Structure 1
Amino acid sequence: MTITRASNHQPVALGKQIASSGEGEVWETNLNGYLAKIYHNPTPERIKKLEVMIANPPDDPMLQYNHTAIAWAKDLLVDQNGATVGFLMPAIQNSKELPSVYLPKLRKRRAPGFNWYYLHIAALNTAWIIQAIHAKGYVLGDIKPQNILVSDRGLVAVIDTDSFQVRDVRSGKVYRCTVGSEGFTPVELLGQDFSTTDQTEVHDHFRLAVLIHYLLFGYHPFSGEWQGVGDPPEQNELIRRGFWAYSQNSLIRPSRNTIPLDVVHPEIKRCFLQCFNDGHTAPHLRPTAEDWHNALIVAVNDLVACNTLDTHHYSRSYGKCYWCERKATLGVDIFPGNSGTASVPTVLGISRVSTASQNTTTLPSTSIQTAVTSTSSISQYLSSSLPATTLPQQLAQNTKASLPEWQKAVLTGSVIGVFLFVGLLLTRQQPQYIQASPPQSVAQQDLSLPPETSSPVESSIRSIEQAPSSSSLVSVEQEVSNQNQVSYSPPPSSISQQEAVALINRWQEYKRRLFAPPYERYLGGEILTGKAYHDNISRADGKESSSEWLENDGSYYTYGIQSIDSIENFAASGNQATIDLIVTEQRTLYGSSGRIDRNGSAFDTRLVRYNLQLINGQWKIADYHTVKTISKR
């Protein structure tokens, strides 16, 4: 297929495919720094939405610093017949998905040294970018960690921008965001059809708070130790009922592994309480992106380095190093390093200073680049006359010969504090962006709870989506013994039998990419909900899902034959449907050593029951289990 840019007819050659979803594919191109998204079925409304976006881009405040923070559509792409097939967008270089830095096991492999200071920087920059998007009248809608990329300097970028809700300022027409992600939908939108619902910034405010909680704590805020009767509800039900660890009358309480809310700066704590408590019944009270940005500036300036371990940082307002406390109590250190090195390493010419017994001002463990562009004079001063990256270096050099170490720390920290304070004063006009310098590599351990063990029934079958525990895999497609097959007399259905089979076919295809590198968990959000999403993508109880365990352990599945042999039963009514299928599947589990795990591998034919549910206008798999195993090869 011959593709050209719509604006100037420049030929665009597609290279390597780097992503694929139900709506299209993303390709590298021959144009340096640009990617192409090619749709499977570009509708006239989607094309018009892209035209509106291209004509009204948000201000990307980091372009002047040679960083793209918003992967916005730049030009339409047309085929040889002049039909629009997709769009051109900037590539985000040298970045990784947000879970790579906030999940301890992934951070250990992909971003060693990305400590709590860096996580604050990433949260601050995320809030600032969303603030810029909101300023243009756009609503992100589908905020999720996989749509936020972060570099090793804490520079953040938002992708998948064509899913945003877009309003045409001329006609007033709204092009809605029709997708959402489990755990990121505010209470007032639960159960709503996104294709018919206009969203606002207030809805994004909830999603942003969840994202920041992930960054600072490593897990979803609506998770913890269930105090009620029976199994804990699904995450969306916890959100619906306002159950998180710090709400009144909540049946969720902090567990032994929960990081206390008090460890963050009081301004950050206030924002979380305001969002998840006050905002639960009064959504307009949720902190805005600007509120979060301002609070995080204060919090970053309050962080100090531990005098025992240089990779530990804590809020001065908390008064002590929580990570040392945690290590002593639980034997777990998610930001480990070399003891006694707090004042030794230097990063980009600035000495790292530990907290001494004296009440001295302490520098962060990394130098920072601060862009304060509220006025042209300040902007020009920081970006050209005296680049922010050179300021700490010059201070360190000028004071090195004449002052004792603690006085250097006081002077240098005070000057940097002045610049941060100026940014805080001006932030109401133009936000501040902070870039952290590259972290040092350090070995890290895991924060997550121990994987749950399999039940006797689960352990006996070793089915495909089992999440391995320390000695076995947790079953996802559970074999239910002695369960009789049920016959249905289906009423008029809201999803056809053919559409239901197509949904299961997509699930079979997605498993190849979800349970093996690159572990594309965003696919789960497109096709799973409820228990299926909980077991495979993200659990509300803080334990690892199947895909998380596989990735964290370095294990993966490969698939041979995958087929739907017959349809046994089908029933659908309203927003619920059930389909029983005879499924043949050949799957092989490879462990972290690269060897085949025979117990986790199988080639069998099973009767599987899938429960489907209509969520926000999209049919998804809510649960499934093996009714019986018909044959094994």
Structure 2
Amino acid sequence: SRGVKKLHQMGLAHSDLSYNNILVDPVTKSACIIDIDGLVVPKLFPPEVIGTADFIAPEVLKTQHLNLTDPDRYLPNQKTDLHALAALIYMYLLRRHPLRGGKIWDLDSEKDEILSMGEKAMFVEHPEDPTNHVKTDQLRKWDTFWGDPKNIPYTIVGPYLSDLFKKAFVDGLHDPIRRPTANEWETALLKTVDLIQPCHHSACTEKWYVFDNTSTPKCPFCGTPHQGSLPVLDLYFKFDDEVWKPENHRLMVYHNQYLFKWHVSRKVIRNENLTMQDKMPVGYFTFHQGKWVLVNQSLPGMKDITEQKEIPPGSMVELTDGKKILLSADEGGRLIYVTMANQ
């Protein structure tokens, strides 16, 4: 998402984003976009390819039979990149394709491919229209778990990403201007990382899941319920002197979860410009003697608003239901409100 954001900020389009052109190293957690000899520079370098099968935007496929100079012909651009980016993120997280469902539009397989990915393209998890929903009996036997959205619906990725998937594959599928930008994906992915919980089952294949916003959370992959109480922290920012507003960002707590500067202050934005100093944790959460506590490592102005007590660096505060903790008194500093789930 960051790489695509950077390209688009420079006025460029990649034109062929796909799993062949993105290399991910799971060990160093780094990703690299390659094959940029097909970069599209408006009015200078026109697109040379229309893309890779699973990732071509519907409008490009639908008009590919027209002449290159035809004004109705759609060619790869930033908006088609955004379709490919959404499809990539969906496939990485859910291990299936967002448009390859149960509907057959034409008995000729080539025509069917062009229709189902082009003019007639439809989200396999469309909330109102079941036309292209996955038919379980068509799945190959090893695909039945991830391939069937009834087992793992797209909503398990949490509220921020679900919202963008709906925007990309329902609202924006045939209306390119409504597709989420790369920056929106980056923000939603980062907020979602703050919602993940470790699964308590040692044999769970996934080991982590996104908190489902219920008072009795459980792992959607193996069905194991969460054990013990679970602090949910909602971040608030100071709107004016007396008013604090919710940030629409929440931090889930688990044993040895960290607190970072980008949680503490609105002035620190979690993007590619963070310094090594900014990436150092400023506090951590731990389950200590039967209680959840936040340990302040280096924040000078932390304060327990509920008890009206300072929390100096090196000390800790217990997380209890309804507790308010000011993380920083500086401009842009946030307040956390604690809710205890699963009590």
TM-score by length of 2: 0.60
1:149 aligned counterpart, secondary structure:
strand
Conserved 8 A contact 2:167-2:178: yes
How many angstroms does 1:407 deviate by?
2.8
Residues 228 and 179 (structure 1), Cα distance of their counterparts in 2 relative to 1, 3 Å cut: closer
Within 1, Cα distance between the matches of 2:60 and 2:18?
Answer: 16
Determine which of 182, 196, 199 is the counterpart of 1:289: 182
Q: Which residue of the partner structure matches residue 229 of structure 2?
A: 358
1:281 aligned counterpart, secondary structure:
coil
Determine which of 187, 193, 208 is the counterpart of 1:313: 208
Q: Which residue of the partner structure matches residue 222 of structure 1?
A: 99
Give the aligned residue type for 2:177: H
Within 2, Cα distance between the matches of 1:377 and 1:290?
Answer: 12
1:222-371 maps to which residues of 2 (within 5 A)? Answer: 222-226=99-103, 234-240=112-118, 241-247=120-126, 248-254=128-134, 255=136, 257=145, 258=148, 259-309=152-202, 311-317=206-212, 319-325=217-223, 356-360=227-231, 361-363=252-254
**Larger strand share, 1 or 2:** 1
Matched positions, count: 250
Give the aligned residue type for 2:292: Q
Give 5+ residue unaligned stretches, structure 1.
Answer: 1-126, 329-353, 419-424, 426-633
How many angstroms does 1:136 deviate by?
0.2
Residues 291 and 376 (structure 1), Cα distance of their counterparts in 2 relative to 1, 3 Å cut: closer
How many angstroms does 1:222 deviate by?
1.3
1:79-118 maps to which residues of 2 (within 5 A)? Answer: none
Instruction: Give yes or no for the alignment of 1:391 onto 2:281.
Output: yes
Q: Which residue of the partner structure matches residue 160 of structure 1?
A: 35
TM-score by length of 1: 0.34
Conserved 8 A contact 2:104-2:112: no
How many angstroms does 1:236 deviate by?
3.8
Residues 154 and 194 (structure 1), Cα distance of their counterparts in 2 relative to 1, 3 Å cut: farther
Conserved 8 A contact 2:21-2:34: yes
Q: Which residue of the partner structure matches residue 181 of structure 1?
A: 52
Conserved 8 A contact 2:23-2:33: yes
CA displacement, residues 354-380 of structure 1 (integer Å, 9 cap, x when unaligned): 9541123434999899999x979999x
CA displacement, residues 536-565 of structure 1 (integer Å, 9 cap, x when unaligned): xxxxxxxxxxxxxxxxxxxxxxxxxxxxxx
CA displacement, residues 566-619 of structure 1 (integer Å, 9 cap, x when unaligned): xxxxxxxxxxxxxxxxxxxxxxxxxxxxxxxxxxxxxxxxxxxxxxxxxxxxxx
Instruction: Give yes or no for the alignment of 1:407 onto 2:292.
Output: yes
The sequence identity of aligned pairs, in percent, is: 20
* Alpha-carbon RMSD: 4.2
2:221 aligned counterpart, secondary structure:
helix
1:407 aligned counterpart, secondary structure:
strand
Within 2, Cα distance between the matches of 1:284 and 1:161?
Answer: 24
Residues 364 and 288 (structure 1), Cα distance of their counterparts in 2 relative to 1, 3 Å cut: farther
1:183 aligned counterpart, secondary structure:
helix
Within 2, Cα distance between the matches of 1:160 and 1:141?
Answer: 10
Rg larger in structure: 1
Instruction: Give yes or no for the alignment of 1:136 onto 2:15.
Output: no
**Larger helix share, 1 or 2:** 1
Residues 174 and 220 (structure 1), Cα distance of their counterparts in 2 relative to 1, 3 Å cut: same
How many angstroms does 1:296 deviate by?
1.6
Residues 179 and 153 (structure 1), Cα distance of their counterparts in 2 relative to 1, 3 Å cut: same
CA displacement, residues 180-208 of structure 1 (integer Å, 9 cap, x when unaligned): 10021111111427965653211111111
